[in-house]
A and B are shown apart, each in its own frame.
Chain A
Amino acid sequence: MSTKKSTGKKRETTVKKTDSLKKEMVKLKQELKEKEDKLLRSYADLHNYQKRMEKELQIKEEETKKKYISELLNLSELLKKAYADKSPKDGLKHILNNIDNFFEKEQIKSIDCVGEKFDHNLHHAVTTIEKDDCKDEIIVEEVKKGYMINGKLLRPSQVIVAKKKENE
């Protein structure tokens, strides 16, 4: 009799346990579903944020472009005036000053290179020339001027470098 009772009790607790586990499972399933939805939404948010940033970057780029083109336009207007001028030298001097001021404002500096030792950090060697009267690796000619911006390389000077004639 007592065993029966205890079996009944056992069954009861098992049923209770199963019920609570079932409830727990339903709850967890629901939670998982919500979490999944949240995860997907944050991924979608990230994608949309990326797209917006790309758009904004594009707008910024366009704005920067506008700024520099507008400076170029000013310059072009002035040069046109100088071109129409019978003795433009004085005017051209002022225009060049304007350009230099603009570059100074943007922290652009030209690289002096002729007579210096070739430096791969600043210079790009276009070709070499064999020379007797010159030290090896010295820059003898500048093909295209190089510039720094904010202390960083904007473009390297393109140069011709001396090469000592090999004694045969």
Chain B
Amino acid sequence: MGKIIGIDLGTTNSEVAVIEAGKPTIIKSAEGQPYFPSVVAFTKDGEMLVGETAKRQAVTNPEGTVHRIKRKMGRGEKVKASGKSYSPEQISAFILQKIKKDAEDFLGEKISDAVITVPAYFNDDQRQATKDAGKIAGLNVKRIINEPTAASLAYGLDKKGDHKIAVYDFGGGTFDITLMEVGEGVFEVLSTNGDTQLGGSDMDQALVDYLAGEFKKKHDVDLKKDPKSLQRLSEAAENAKIELSSTLQTDINLPYITVVDNEPKHLELKFTRAKFEELIAPFVDKTEKPSEQALKDAKLKKSDIDHVVLVGGTTRIPLVKKKVEEIFGKVPKRDVDPMECVAIGAAVQAGVLSGDIDQDIVLLDVTPLTLSIETLGGVATALIERNTTVPTKKARIFSTAADSQSSVEINVLQGERPMAADNKSLGRFHLDGILPAPRGIPQIEVGFDIDVDGIINVSAKDLGTAKEQSIRITGSTKLSDEEITRMKKVAEEHAEEDKKRKEKVEIRNNGDALAHSAQKTLDELKDKISDDDKKNIDGALKELRGALAGDDVDKIKEKTDKLSEALQKASTAIYQQAAQQAAQQQQAAGTQTDKKSDDSWAGHPSDEDKTIDADYKVKDDDKKKSDDKKK
């Protein structure tokens, strides 16, 4: 079965979404916008335009352009455009055709089925008309669903048992409030109310009036009379509205906004959220009455409402959110884009119909917290990041921290803190019998495998001897929500100091590793290093070891850098020497300085991402930080 698209066929704009790989995706128009203006035009040349292009030419061709056709659906009226008569179903069909075509281009496959949303207050005729519009457009309308139901589906509210939902839809031109009851996945509309003449555009107008008024006070010029100035003013008002949704004050600066007596004038204004809210408050307050009426009609008290869902761009304004909280006594849901949530909900419904959303698969768990193991210096090295979908497995290769180390301890940790001790230990075990070898040589593969029930199998395998040990941990994903929230919160609170502590450990580990590899280099290349360099390295090494014995991290860093410099100087000399020798010898010198000390020879002492490898070496491809493990 092909894909089914979900369409929010709106009064001013329409949106379309589809389920891809189990997730809703908003489909962009051919013009690159995440929405389609619900505008159809017939030009004098006989061309039909739909969406963005129709909107662009609207003022030049008012008699050939049709707006807001949704308001005429199912009423038996016809509309005239460029001398011809069309039914609202036909006009809507043109919009749906454009959506269908752009969706096909976007998805690269034919689309024949759709779910379309309508307002909860649409009667049977209006619903039938919407269905017919789909048919004319060549779409098989699988289902017509209510917009508030779609919005609730976008939030997954159908799965949360029996409850009551208020959907507060405040768009550009209209306000709708719908109260619903949901039980066993079935939505029932209890009441609807609204105001068809109230929307965000009223607020924009109030803002423009205010800005123009302020300018007039100062310069005695009405900016609204000049289309050029008005255009810039409208854009500035729109931007200020967005800005003031997150900040408390914004500067409006419009240089060269107009010219008075050959002198350019600039508009400069500090605009506070308080002033903004004062201007829009009358419109926001107007949503109160319909909302209360809806509660009354549904015979509900505000305490009966379990969830409040916000729809429409205007609900992004903090004052609107506050008003909603006031009306319903609940913090509204807001993590799905209010402009997109109806289309997303329609796509969710479409996905269920097409089987793109398989209930079982959608319910795959995620790991609530990061899973790591303890590595050198008490650092928690993550293997499976938080929010990873399970079942999954990951493996990384670690090594030993000391020469001839015969056993490693795997301490399995859960939590977001970078230091092992601050996380919860889920279990620990030893892998013994590692053959005596210099540090960093043994390869121990640590694997995490979480099955669909959240049971973790942690294994450690010595790749040299094929010896293996493992542990089974149950119930790790079954932490209570409170516990997860608490652990995340603690991690956030300690983020700064944790970072510093981890840095300190890393500096120490790096110093330790460099000291080790410097010693090795001295031993292996003693014939090739000049006496001067040898003395330098030796001195720096002694100083670093001295620093490592103490607690002064800055000193360790300084001495590490010094040793690194000395090593680089020596390595440069060796390479220069080698370059002068025969090709074969050159190659020999190259291999000798290869591998084991690669990072310390890399010559990037300041490159934070390339910390020096030692101890618990990671052989991952990404090879970010070296991860070290003690004992």
Contact = CB atoms under 8 A, between A and B. Distances in A.
Interface of A: 37, 40-41, 43-48, 50-51, 118, 120-121, 123-128, 137, 141, 143-144, 153, 156, 158, 160-161, 163
B364 A47 contact: yes
B361 A120 contact: no
Contacts, number: 74
B60 A48 contact: no
25 contacts: A37-B391, A40-B361, A40-B364, A41-B391, A43-B22, A43-B361, A43-B389, A44-B390, A44-B392, A46-B22, A47-B22, A48-B389, A50-B23, A51-B387, A118-B60, A121-B53, A123-B56, A126-B227, A126-B231, A128-B60, A141-B227, A143-B228, A143-B231, A160-B227, A163-B60
B33 to A, nearest CB: 12
Given A37-B391, A37-B452, A40-B452, A125 B60 contact: yes
A156 B56 contact: yes
Interface in B1-59: 21-23, 31, 43, 49, 53-59
Given A44-B364, A161-B60, A120 B390 contact: no
Pick the most buried of B54, B60, B228: most chain A CB atoms within 10 A of its CB.
B60
Contacts of B23: 50
Contacts of A51: 387-389
B476 to A, nearest CB: 16
Given A45-B392, A128-B60, 8 more contacts: A44-B391, A44-B392, A120-B54, A120-B56, A124-B55, A125-B56, A137-B60, A143-B231
B21 to A, nearest CB: 5
Given A37-B452, A43-B361, A50-B23, A127 B227 contact: yes
A130 to B, nearest CB: 12
Contact of B231 (A44, A123, A144, A156): A144
Contacts of B53: 120-121
Contacts of B55: 124
A157 to B, nearest CB: 10
A38 to B, nearest CB: 10
Nearest to B228: A143
Contacts of B228: 141, 143-144
A23 B31 CA distance: 61
Interface residues of B, number: 29
Contacts of A118: 57, 60
Contacts of A43: 22, 361, 364, 389
Nearest to A42: B391
Which of A37, A43, A118 has the most B CB atoms < 10 Å from its CB?
A43
Contacts of A48: 388-389, 392
Contacts of B31: 153
Nearest 10 A-B pairs (CB), nearest first?
A47-B389, A120-B57, A124-B56, A44-B389, A120-B53, A125-B60, A125-B59, A161-B60, A120-B56, A143-B228
Interface of B: 21-23, 31, 43, 49, 53-60, 227-228, 231-232, 361, 364, 387-393, 451-452
A143 B227 contact: yes
A75 B23 CA distance: 42
B121 to A, nearest CB: 34
A44 to B, nearest CB: 4
Contact of B59 (A44, A47, A128, A156): A128
Nearest to A162: B60
Contacts of B232: 144
A126 B392 CA distance: 55
B43 to A, nearest CB: 8
Contacts of A128: 59-60
A120 B49 contact: yes
A156 to B, nearest CB: 6
Given A40-B364, A41-B391, A45-B392, A126 B57 contact: no
A105 to B, nearest CB: 22
A79 B492 CA distance: 41
A41 B60 contact: no
Q: Among A37, A47, A126, A158, find the residue whose CB has the most chain B CB atoms closer than 10 A.
A: A47
A45 B21 CA distance: 11
A41 B392 CA distance: 6
Nearest to B234: A126
Contacts of A127: 59, 227
A48 B391 CA distance: 10
Contacts of A144: 228, 231-232
A161 B364 contact: no
A103 B364 CA distance: 48
Nearest to A118: B60
A40 B60 contact: no
A141 B231 CA distance: 13
Contacts of A123: 56
Contacts of B361: 40, 43
Contacts of A50: 21, 23
Nearest to A137: B60
B59 A126 contact: yes
A123 B387 CA distance: 46
Q: Looking at A48, A120, A124, A127, which has the most chain B CB atoms within 10 Å of its CB?
A: A120
